[in-house]
Amino acid sequence: QTYSFPSDFWWGSAASGPQTEGAAKEDGRKPSIWDYWYSKQPECFHGEVGPEHTSNFYHMYKEDIQLMKKTGHNSFRTSIQWSRLIPDGKGTINEKAVQFYNDVINELIANDIEPIMNLYHFDMPMCMQEKGGWESREVVDAYVEYAKTCFELFGDRVKYWFTFNEPIVPVEASYLYNLHYPHIVDFKRGAQVAHNTIVAHAKAVAVYKKLNLNGRIGIILNLTPSYPRSKKEEDVQAAHIADLFFNRSFLDPVTKGVYPAGLIEILKERNLLPAVEEGDLEIIQSNPIDLLGVNYYQPRRVKAKEEQVPPEKPFMPEHLFDPYIKPDRKINPHRGWEICEEVIYDIMINIRDHYDNIPFFISENGMGVEGEEKFRNHEGYIEDDYRIEFIQEHLKWVHKGLQEGANCLGYHLWTFMDNWSWANAYKNRYGLVEVDLNRDFKRTIKKSGQWYKALTDNHGFT
Ligand code: BGP
């Protein structure tokens, strides 16, 4: 069978400033929470390359953009670093940063690669965290100013903007599960962070629209569709609740302009609703997105709660459902994530049927693998057939979704080149291009990169 995709389909990859640029202390950039946290815990580095160097894109972007061409990119998403552009969080703009981002954007365009820019990828400037991070309205206002600065500086050439990447991750990782700085475990504060982020997003959308820049703006969400263990009503209800917490909590307000009633009810009953300021709900309601980014890695599987959690225990979403591990699941052992390709199709059909068929694209999907050097062939490049298979199997389902009318504009792999990751540093590699940390960040295209070029040249595969 031939899988053909539209000729204007976006083929490319996603990355982020903090995971690729490096040069963390150069040209006026100030620390984000990541620089701060890792400086306190050097043992978390998993090797000597931390957020300070990452993949050295800051100095190698020209070479990298040539490699993007060689791997068939017609579009590329990365993020601007707030702590580089406005090192004090608000106030003075760093001219060196303006120059860098201008150079990257211009170089991409000169090479026929559509630049897609995201504004926030987990990288709170440390000085803003000290003011309370997303719990603080002052920080929300500073973010909106930062967003406006970006639109004004680069909006003549960047036509696709995203306000946040996976905004639920800072809620979960920093306020529920003790994974990211500032390591707070408090559902109510997490709910406040979620609400404040959505307000920040909506305000940035409003600012963008007011500037009349002739582009589109949206948000990137990691969707984890919830599947019940069985068709039993209590399992189905558990999946519904998980979906409210982990998907619809963001997806509904940014597309439909309102929080799901079921979620509000659950929070209200437990006295966990965040503080809502005057005008918040109106601003959310009047600024729906016009483009959605969907990051998809794995589904969520749940079953009805087997043992009730005593009511005095501090609330967590998991008090309402239990995780369920599918016995015959396929898994990526390096990351521990289930691989279930057809879920990408379910997401597409859900957006088509329940979200007004809004335009979206697959903004991340990918496979992190440890120890890829062992797949190096005699010509010196890594033969990552497993990655090719991973992409191809997902694309078959994307193709089916497209055939059935989903409004999907493209597919972006996570990621272009091996990069630094929040929890695993360089342990797992995701790139189409290898980065050799022991040889001055030397880049080598993997087999998947060659394959991706053929895929995009042919607008599909057989
Ligand atoms: C997404 C993030 C990316 C990236 C990716 C892979 O959630 O948007 O920044 O890191 O996941 O995950 P990890 O690097 O943790 O394996």
Ligand 1, closest atom to CA 428?
A: 16
| Assigned token pair, 57 | 């894109």
pLDDT at 49: 72
Residue to probe by mutation, ligand 1, list 16, 422, 429, most atoms within 8 Å of CB: 422
Q: Is 138 known to be catalytic?
A: no
The angle at the Cα of 259, spanning 255 to 261, to the nearest 5 degrees, equals 130
How remote is the CA of residue 426 from the centroid of ligand 1, in Å?
A: 12
Residue of 166, 172, 364, 434 marked catalytic: 364
- Boundaries of domain holding 266: 3-461
pLDDT digits (tens, 9 = 90+) for 373-424: 999 999 999 999 999 999 999 999 999 999 999 999 999 999 999 999 998 8
pLDDT at 311: 87
**pLDDT band of 39, cuts 50, 70, 90:** confident
Q: How many domains does the chain have?
A: 1
Q: Is the pLDDT of residue 94 over 90?
A: yes
pLDDT at 48: 62
Average pLDDT of every residue of the chain: 97
Q: What is the CATH number of the domain that holds 90?
A: 3.20.20.80
| SS3 of residue 224 by DSSP | coil
Contact 294, 358 (CB under 8 A): no
Share of the chain above pLDDT 90, in %: 95
Q: Is the pLDDT of residue 46 over 60?
A: no
pLDDT at 286: 98
ipTM confidence: 0.97
Residue written as token pair 């090797």: 47
pLDDT digits (tens, 9 = 90+) for 247-280: 999 999 999 999 999 999 999 999 999 999 999 9
How remote is the CA of residue 268 from the centroid of ligand 1, in Å?
A: 32
Query: Nearest residue CA, atom 13 of ligand 1?
Result: 421
424 lines ligand 1 (CB under 6 A): yes
pLDDT digits (tens, 9 = 90+) for 214-231: 999 999 999 999 999 999
222 lines ligand 1 (CB under 6 A): yes
- Across the beta sheet with 226-228, the strand order is 226-228, 300-303, 322-323
pLDDT digits (tens, 9 = 90+) for 418-454: 999 998 889 999 999 999 999 999 999 999 999 999 9
pLDDT at 43: 63
Mean pLDDT in residue range 326-330: 96
pLDDT digits (tens, 9 = 90+) for 156-169: 999 999 999 999 99
Contacts of 285 (CB under 8 A, 6+ apart): 257, 258
Query: Nearest residue CA, atom 14 of ligand 1?
Result: 421
Q: List the beta bridge partners of residue 226.
A: 300
Pairing of strands 216-222, 291-295: parallel
Residue written as token pair 């639109």: 151
Phi, psi of 179 (to 5 degrees): -105, -40
Q: Is the pLDDT of residue 45 over 60?
A: no
414 lines ligand 1 (CB under 6 A): yes
423 lines ligand 1 (CB under 6 A): yes
pLDDT digits (tens, 9 = 90+) for 178-205: 999 999 999 999 999 999 999 999 999 9
337 lines ligand 1 (CB under 6 A): no
Q: Is the pLDDT of residue 294 over 80?
A: yes
422 lines ligand 1 (CB under 6 A): yes
| SS3 of residue 162 by DSSP | strand
Between 311 and 226, residue with greater pLDDT: 226
**pLDDT band of 348, cuts 50, 70, 90:** very high
Q: Is the pLDDT of residue 42 over 80?
A: no
**pLDDT band of 38, cuts 50, 70, 90:** confident
Share of the chain above pLDDT 70, in %: 98
Of 281, 278, 279, the closest CA to residue 264 belongs to 281
Contacts of 186 (CB under 8 A, 6+ apart): 175, 314
Rounded to whole angstroms, the Cα distance separating 69 from 153 reads 25
